[in-house]
């Protein structure tokens, strides 16, 4: 069964696992996520489920008529964030169903999709881990990228050349994170290890697609 929840990253902490080892965990507040729309192959051309999420735990103060009408069809409050995930055509999701942390109580491994922290405009040393040049003895070459061109032929810079530019603020997926604990009454999931992004960032948590069998 495929399952996905929207949530936000609350931060990191430490807990003891079943072997009494102190391990780092990321605390994720996931759900509740109502099902806003169920898409089918006959009507939409593909099978998917659209879910919503309110990061502050309440409906937004201002919402347009489109958002209100879309939520009213599912008999739920307007949602600030809505995303969809693909499914097979035969599933048991219905419009208005509420997805919670309880659905992950028996899940051992999850994948977390989040947005990394934005670093702004950075040079090649920080962005691509270039070694740079000598730091002293009259050197005029310190943190630059070296030669980018190719003389007269072909007389241009090739695509995908590693150069200074915008760094971070991209979507990344962390796979096979172990679920150490779920707290349904507070909508919390504790996963082992770190998750990209800042505190309060919106993330998506799903059942792991590539389970590592040790």
214 within domain boundaries: no
pLDDT at 193: 93
Beta strand 202-207 with 4-16: parallel, antiparallel or unpaired?
A: antiparallel
> Are 77 and 161 within one domain?
no
Provide the domain count of the chain: 2
Mean pLDDT of the 171-198 span:
92
When the pLDDT of each residue in the chain is averaged and rounded to a whole number, the result is 89
> Are 123 and 107 within one domain?
no
Please tell me the distance from the alpha carbon of residue 35 to that of residue 82, in angstroms, as a whole number: 9
> DSSP letter string over 83-151?
EEEE--SS----TTPEE-GGGGTT--EEEEEEEPPEEEEE-HHHHH------SSTT-S-SS-------S
Structure tokens at 140: 């005029």
pLDDT per residue as tens digits for the range 58-71: 888 888 888 889 88
Band (pLDDT 50/70/90 cuts) for residue 213 is: low
Question: Is 193 within 8 Å of 174 (Cβ atoms)?
Answer: yes
Query: What range defines the domain where residue 156 resides?
Result: 118-133+149-168
pLDDT per residue as tens digits for the range 74-112: 888 899 889 999 887 667 788 888 999 988 888 889 999
Question: What does pTM read for this prediction?
Answer: 0.82
Band (pLDDT 50/70/90 cuts) for residue 56 is: confident
34 within domain boundaries: yes
pLDDT per residue as tens digits for the range 113-171: 999 999 999 999 999 999 989 988 899 899 998 888 888 888 888 999 999 999 999 99
Please tell me the distance from the alpha carbon of residue 43 to that of residue 200, in angstroms, as a whole number: 36
> Are 13 and 86 within one domain?
yes
DSSP 185: G
CATH number at 65 reads 2.40.30.10
């Amino acid at each position: 069964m495929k399952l996905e929840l929207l949530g936000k990253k609350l931060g990191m902490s430490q807990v003891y696992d079943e072997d009494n080892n102190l391990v780092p965990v990321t605390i994720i507040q996931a759900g509740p996520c109502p099902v806003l729309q169920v898409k089918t192959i006959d009507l939409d051309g593909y099978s998917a489920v659209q879910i919503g999420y309110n990061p502050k735990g309440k409906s937004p103060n201002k919402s347009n008529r489109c958002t209100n009408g879309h939520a009213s069809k599912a008999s739920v409050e307007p949602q600030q964030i809505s995303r969809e995930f693909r499914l097979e055509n035969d599933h048991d999701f219905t419009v208005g169903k509420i997805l919670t942390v309880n659905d992950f109580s028996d899940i051992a491994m999850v994948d977390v999709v989040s947005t990394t922290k934005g670093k702004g405009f950075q040079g090649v040393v920080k962005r691509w881990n270039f070694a740079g040049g000598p730091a002293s003895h009259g050197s005029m070459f310190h943190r630059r990228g070296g030669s980018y061109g190719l003389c007269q032929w072909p007389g241009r810079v090739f695509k995908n050349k590693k150069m200074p530019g915008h760094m971070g603020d991209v979507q990344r997926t962390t796979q096979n994170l172990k679920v150490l604990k779920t707290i349904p009454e507070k909508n919390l999931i504790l996963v082992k290890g770190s998750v990209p992004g800042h505190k309060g960032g919106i993330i998506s948590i799903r059942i792991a697609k590539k389970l590592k069998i040790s």
